[in-house]
Amino acid sequence: MSITWFENLVGKENVSDEIVDREVYSTDASQIKGKCDKVVWATEVKHLHQIVLYAKRNKLDLIPRGAGTNLVGSCVPDNSVVIDFSKMNKIIALTSNYVVVEPGVILDDLNSVLRDKFFPIQPEDSSTCTIGGMIGINSSGFYEKKYGRMKDWVLEVEMIDGNGRLKTYDSKVVGKEGILGLITNIKLKITDKIDERSMNVFKYDKLNDVLSKVNELKSNQEVIAIEFINLDAAKLAGLEERYYLIVEYHGFEGGVRDLNEMGRLWHIRKKIFHKLASNSYVYLEDPLIPQENLAEFLYYLETKNIPCYGPIGINVLYPCFSNREEIKELYDTILRLRGVIGSRQGIGLLKKNYLNEVMKEELRNLKEQMDPMHIMNKGKVI
Amino acid sequence: MAGVDKCILCGKCRADSALLRVTGKEMLTARGKALLIMKGILDKVFYIDPLNDVTVRSCPTNVEISEEVRKQRERLVENGIETKANRRMIDNIREFGNPYGSLEKKDIKEVYS
């Protein structure tokens, strides 16, 4: 396909088929390698509209891309045109109860303008993740126990679907990993900033004690986050070799109330993956385990010396691996325990075989309505 | 500190990339440059780098991309691939001892970093 058509539309500075660009956009944080035909840096909705219509006429594959930090290959191209939204990063409107943003806005940039307001979906990579990408995987965060996920905070999503129709949708298009269309504008609910916050760190030597405490904390309405670190992860992170629960409260129930000290505790939690990755544990999984099987799963990880951390308060854990081959056995265990593979980091290419049939059917129906020519993120999720 | 073979492509370096902020271009991030180095692609893009170690702070595997970029620049020069500004800067240093040329003229038109 000719680059001239794209250059005439978006300008030479906003499209490239040079080897350096095609190479860096051929993959994402999943490390799966694809083939990028060209890259377009999105700047205007009218351009995106024309690109979708052109792609429809010429049967091109379009890959929307935010930060490219997903772990499942959601942005891996297949002779595709990658649409990078990094330049569509404006905060368009901010009121007392909602904010309107372009999809390339980085979460921390949004956080920095909210002042006395709060957007409660706060994943640990808030300094890199874009709002568009968060919509794509229905992002979660530290505070899911109280505030839910991205779909619970989306009021409107403006999107150009695969038919070339620019429409406004509700949260039904959240979590679809770019297979329905290109998001152009997002309206999110915001809430009042929490002034009364506190934290506790609990340390244990026995897993049973951890589980008892987690059960107690889950029923506490003041608790908004419960994060777990297991023995192997603690050891690799340079912490005392014990089990940890890092807990945040909406209110002053926790013993740590100094904001700087709270920031330090969250920093330790946010750096766990860094510490594991620097010890070669670079592959992260995100299973959801039913409450009744959580203990068995944690004991399984312990037996295998698999470092693990994550939001145990919502029954999600992040076991980490140094080798992808070891993950197959984990999947078998998750399925045996009636858990969900790929519960928080998306499905993409890597986990599509594990998406349940009910969800697949729902997605196929949506795909037929909104992208019948299959020009949006071909081969992902379903 | 580690070489680019340790890059896991996580993209956490994007948080500290001033060049990305200005341009929106992935190839100017540490991850982008690591990918090019791994692929053996020698390009003038390696001249566009502040050569500071800011992105190491956010890198989980401690990839010291600045050192890697410095090596690529050496390879570029060895292969005769230079930018005009770079060539002029080197010539000025050799002739005048500074990158700007004759300071007596007081008409510095280009600033290099």
Q: Is residue B110 part of a domain?
A: no
In this structure, the answer to whether residues A189 and A202 fall within a common structural domain is: no
Mean pLDDT estimate for chain B: 87
Residue type, A377: N
pLDDT for residue B113 is more than 60: no
Residue type, A35: K
> Given the structure tokens 């190839």, which residue do they identify?
B27
d(CA A85, CA A75): 12
**Cα angle at A351 between A349 and A356, to 5 degrees?**
120
Among all residues of chain A, which has the CA nearest to that of B13?
A: A128
Return the CATH number at A178.
3.30.465.10
User: Residue range B20-41: average pLDDT?
Assistant: 94
Among all residues of chain B, which has the CA nearest to that of A104?
A: B24
User: Residue range A228-245: average pLDDT?
Assistant: 97
Which alpha helices (H) appear in B46-98, and where do they start and end? Answer: 65-78, 84-96
In this structure, the answer to whether residues A73 and A139 fall within a common structural domain is: no
C-alpha atoms less than 13 angstroms from C-alpha of A186 in its C-beta half-sphere: 31
Most confident listed range (A66-70, B64-68, B98-102): A66-70
C-alpha atoms less than 13 angstroms from C-alpha of A107 in its C-beta half-sphere: 25
Q: Is residue A376 part of a domain?
A: no
Q: Is residue B10 part of a domain?
A: yes
- Per DSSP, chain B holds a count of helices (H) and strands (E) of 4, 0
Domain boundary at A163, A193, A223, which?
A193
Mutate to test the interface with B, among A14, A16, A20 (most CBs of B within 10 A): A20
Q: Is A79 on the interface with B (CB under 8 A)?
A: no
pLDDT at B110: 60
d(CA A79, CA A56): 15
In this structure, the answer to whether residues A98 and A146 fall within a common structural domain is: yes
**What does the pLDDT look like over A116-131, one tens digit per residue?**
999 999 999 999 999 9
pLDDT at B52: 76
Residue type, A322: S
Q: Is A35 on the interface with B (CB under 8 A)?
A: no
pLDDT at A352: 94
Which residues of B are less than 8 Å from A41 in CB distance?
A: 24-25
C-alpha R_g of chain A = 21
In this structure, the answer to whether residues A36 and A107 fall within a common structural domain is: no
**What does the pLDDT look like over A34-55, one tens digit per residue?**
999 999 999 999 999 999 999 9
Please name the member of B24, B41, B62 whose beta carbon is closest to the beta carbon of A23. Answer: B41
d(CA A222, CA A252): 9
Domain boundary at A84, A119, A136, which?
A84
Task: Report the DSSP beta bridge partners of residue A101.
Answer: A91, A186
CB B77 within 8 A of CB B85: no
For A84, phi then psi, to 5°, come to -90, 125
Beta strand A243-250 pairing with A308-310? unpaired
Total domain count for chain A?
3
For A226, phi then psi, to 5°, come to -130, 110
Please name the member of A23, A273, A275 whose beta carbon is closest to the beta carbon of B36. Answer: A23
| Angstroms from B14 CA to nearest CA on chain A | 6
Total domain count for chain B?
1
d(CA A103, CA A185): 6
In this structure, the answer to whether residues A326 and A202 fall within a common structural domain is: yes
- For residue A67, the enclosing domain spans 3-84
In this structure, the answer to whether residues A180 and A127 fall within a common structural domain is: yes
d(CA A181, CA A159): 6
- ipTM of the complex as predicted: 0.93
Among all residues of chain A, which has the CA nearest to that of B63?
A: A278
C-alpha atoms less than 13 angstroms from C-alpha of A125 in its C-beta half-sphere: 27
Reported as a pLDDT band with limits 50, 70 and 90, residue B49 is confident
Return the CATH number at A20.
3.30.43.10
Among all residues of chain B, which has the CA nearest to that of A13?
A: B23
